[in-house]
Amino acid sequence: MKISKAVITAAGRDQQTLPLQTLYDRDGTEKSVLQIIVEEALRGGIEEICVVVQPGDEDAYAEVAGDHAGRLHFELQKDQLGYGHAIYCAREFVKDDMFLHLVGDHIYISTGEKSCVQKLIEIAEAEACAVSAVQGTRENMLPFFGAIGGSRVSGKTDLFRIETVLEKPTPTEAEERLMIPGMRAGYYMCFFGMHVLTPTIFDIIHELLSRQNGDKRVTLSDALSVLAKREQYLACGKNDLRYDVGVKYGLMSAQIALSLNGSDREDVLSRLLELLTVREMNRSGEGARQ
């Protein structure tokens, strides 16, 4: 079973311009956030990519995709009905295939030889089921992530069978429902922003949307919680790095991380050291004058 399709969501009101921002990639080339994410997917063997955007954003996204614009297919999220609904908008593109899902405001950096996407896809193809990337996360960071509970797969140190999914749980909820044997105290497995999903997810989101009341939005975690009860659903623990460019200083953090993992590493380290040296000298001068 080869996974060759990817869905990138970028239609959130607070997200839609983030993939258009530019950074210098690890090869020292200026690229948009979207282009960097697309290239991460391509390194994992993805051939077709759907980007879910708001109406009217298609041209802007195609323009910043660089040489990859011809690979992109756009689907529109006309109504803001939540993250789960954004993925649902790509159902005609995906059809009956398993697919990779990435978010449009995250930069991923692998700490090993294989890319983040490549490692995840290899597991999903081998196990023939949905797999989400997760990362051990401190308890105080739970308000920012969806998290999972379950058990370790026998004989695997970094593979988990998901039994429970909660969106931004409280520490009390996490302690009661998300404990995994062998985890460090005060740490939980939270989503990394990267998933391989089966088309079952569309049936589940459709069911959740049909039961929607008022302004309640369907989150991806809502759908993944049902998926865990309906079919085999695994999580792969990662030591890789991810940077949310939508948070305060997120774009700067992503740029520094790309630079320190790329061809300009020594130059960037020298500049950072120079900035810190000047800062310390200024502080020392102020102290002497006092």
- Dump pLDDT digits (tens) for 180-238: 988 888 999 999 999 999 999 999 999 999 987 656 789 999 999 999 999 999 999 98
Using the CB atoms, write b or e for 103-114: b if 16+ within 10 Å: bbbbbbbbeeee
Tokens 């102020």 belong to residue: 286
Quote the radius of gyration of the chain (alpha carbons, Å).
20
- Dump pLDDT digits (tens) for 94-121: 999 999 999 999 999 988 888 899 999 9
The model's confidence at residue 175, banded by pLDDT at 50, 70 and 90, is very high
- Dump pLDDT digits (tens) for 113-169: 888 999 999 999 999 999 999 999 999 999 999 999 999 999 888 999 999 999 999
- Dump pLDDT digits (tens) for 269-287: 998 889 888 888 787 766 6
CATH number of 5-284: 3.40.1110.10, 3.30.70.370, 3.90.550.10, 3.40.50.800? 3.90.550.10
Give CA 160 to chain center in angstroms: 18
Residues 6+ apart with CB under 8 A from 195: 100, 101, 120, 130, 131, 132, 133, 220, 224
Helix (H) or strand (E) holding 41: helix 33-43
Residue of 120, 111, 160, 172 lying closest to 136 (CA atoms):
160
For 271, phi then psi, to 5°, come to -70, -40
Query: What is the DSSP secondary structure assignment for residue 247, as one 8-state letter?
Result: S
Residue of 250, 118, 242 lying closest to 190 (CA atoms):
242
